[in-house]
Amino acid sequence: VIDEVAAFDGLRDEVRAWCARTIPTDWREQQAGANHGEFLSFQRWWRDQLIEAGYFVPHWPKKWGGREMSLPEQVVLYEEMARGDAPRNAISQVAVYNAAPAVMHAGTAQQQERYLPAIVGGEIWCQGFSEPNAGSDLASLQTRAIRDGDHYIVNGQKIWTSMARDATRCILLARTNPDVSRHRGISLFVMDMDTAGIEVRPIQNAVGESEFCETFMTDVVIPADNLIGAENDGWAVSQQSLGSERAVVLIGLAELLRRNGRGFLLESVRQWTMPDGSPAIDDPAVREQLGGLYGEVEILRLLLGRMVTNLIRHGGTGPESSVVKIYYSELLQRLMRIGTEMQGLPAQLHRPTVASSGWESRDFLHDFINAYAWTIGGGTNEIMRNIVAEKVLGLPKEVQVPAGPR
């Protein structure tokens, strides 16, 4: 898809060989029904393999332990990882793709010295942004941080803090000035998770996993030195951290959907039969649906190819990343829904969840429900559609109504 990528055959061979050497062929069996401890130790092992190979923070500058991979090189890396059926690196996403960019962009030299080596060493971080009453409307968040000499006192509650119970640190958005308009009075902090006054409770999600948590903060003391960027500038700092590297990571997700999602569905249909005993794959309605899905998954790949090409040639992604997010998440969910429907009753059997597998665990019903993580997380698709309508088409904002009860 991308001409610029063709030049990196050497890297492709390297990653492919590494995957063949490193990824245990039976990792899915190992992780089927794994408890939290088994999940975590496998995740840590996998993270260490990535660190050792230089694939953990491939896009980072060399001085912080990265490989300074260009965007096309990252495309190759993530494609090959997906092709090699690599497990998901679930424990490092916040540290590498949310915390680190903020620290690099807005952190002081001392903060960078303190945090970046820890992140590249594999420290687990969580993200304290959403609150029970501040989900899609994140800017209405109520967690308070009050300055008191050389520290802040924090009180409030965060939710959907993935990996919070295993995290060493948290990037936290808290209100430092309640008197100015919503976005303006928010600051970004690094909060050490072993500080007194933090209580973490895991939340079981709809597929029964407990990756994300509620985090309660009662008079938590955060040194003023942990403020990232200027006081009350946290909103802007956190928005900056949505880096282009994350757009490239999507290439890997598209490849996974193509191979493990669509590929597995096509493979499975060959095993299934119709009520009259004839092969499901000969049924015209089944064939039509699969033919349509085949094309839609290719379109995802083409769409990402175009986005990454624009990124490489012109830098930056605009609101088209919202288009990709909506299309990817809804296609993922639809594909899994169709698999569930086609398989019929056997799809309803309970199977042990394959930890570390991401959104293509090879259990259609599980993956269908789990796909809500994508249609809701990272900004619900409804909010994404508002963004597309307002930023791409320039449609007027809704008429404001007076604020309701808090």
Among 57, 82, 220, 290, binds another protein (CB under 8 A): 290
- Establish if 303 lies at the interface with another protein (CB under 8 A): yes
Q: Does 399 bind another protein (CB under 8 A)?
A: yes
Per CB under 8 A, does 272 bind another protein?
no
Taking CB under 8 A as the rule, does residue 80 contact another protein? yes
Q: Between residues 96 and 250, which has the closer beta carbon with respect to another protein?
A: 250
- Taking the complex as a whole, how short is the minimal distance between the CB of residue 314 and another protein, in angstroms? 10
Q: How far apart (Å, rounded) are the C-alpha atoms in residues 197 and 98?
A: 24
**Does 147 engage in binding with another protein (CB under 8 A)?**
no
CA atoms of 117 and 63, how far apart (whole Å): 10
**DSSP labels, 125-137:** EEEE--BTTBSSS
CA angle 72, 78, 79 (to 5 degrees): 85
- Residue 233, interface with another protein (CB under 8 A)? no
State the nearest-atom distance from the C-beta of 319 to another protein, in Å: 9
Nearest to 156 by CA among 147, 143, 165: 143
- DSSP secondary-structure letter at 400? P
Task: Name 373's bridge partners.
Answer: none
Q: Do residues 262 and 290 touch, judged by C-beta distance below 8 A?
A: no
Pair 116, 64: CB distance under 8 Å: yes
CA distance 192 to 194: 6
Largest CA distance in the chain: 77
3-class DSSP state of 277: coil
User: Alpha carbon of 66 to those of 14, 55, 96: distances in Å?
Assistant: 17, 8, 11
Query: Is residue 12 at the binding interface for another protein, with CB under 8 A as the rule?
Result: yes
User: Of 78 and 129, which CB lies nearer to another protein in the complex structure?
Assistant: 78
Measured from the CB atom, is 113 or 341 closer to another protein? 341
Alpha carbon separation from 167 to 127, 197, 220, 290, 342 (Å, rounded): 10, 15, 16, 42, 40
Nearer to another protein, 58 or 107 (CB): 58
For another protein, the binding residue among 397, 401, 402, 405 (CB under 8 A) is: 397
Binder among 14, 70, 296, 379 for another protein (CB under 8 A): 296
- Give me the catalytic one of 73, 79, 131, 245: 245
Q: Is 6 in the site for another protein (CB under 8 A)?
A: yes
**Phi and psi, residue 209, nearest 5°:** -90, 155
How many residues does the structure list for the chain?
406
Binding flag, residue 326, another protein (CB under 8 A) = yes
The yes or no reply on residue 9 touching another protein (CB under 8 A) is yes
Residue 5 sits in the site that holds another protein (CB under 8 A)? yes
By CB under 8 A, is residue 203 in contact with another protein?
A: no
**Which of 40, 74, 79, 125 contacts another protein by CB under 8 A?**
79
Whole-number Å distance between alpha carbons of 243 and 237: 12
Does 379 sit near another protein (CB under 8 A)? no
Task: Please tell me the distance from the alpha carbon of residue 239 to that of residue 250, in angstroms, as a whole number.
Answer: 18
Asked whether position 351 contacts another protein by CB under 8 A, the answer is no
209 touches another protein by CB under 8 A: no
Q: Is 80 labeled as catalytic in the residue annotation?
A: no
Just list the catalytic residues.
245
Task: Please report, as ranges, the residues that interact with another protein according to CB under 8 A.
Answer: 1-3, 5-6, 9, 12, 16, 79-80, 83, 258-259, 262-263, 266, 269, 281, 284, 287-292, 294-296, 298-299, 302-303, 305-306, 320, 323, 326-327, 382, 384-386, 388-390, 392-399
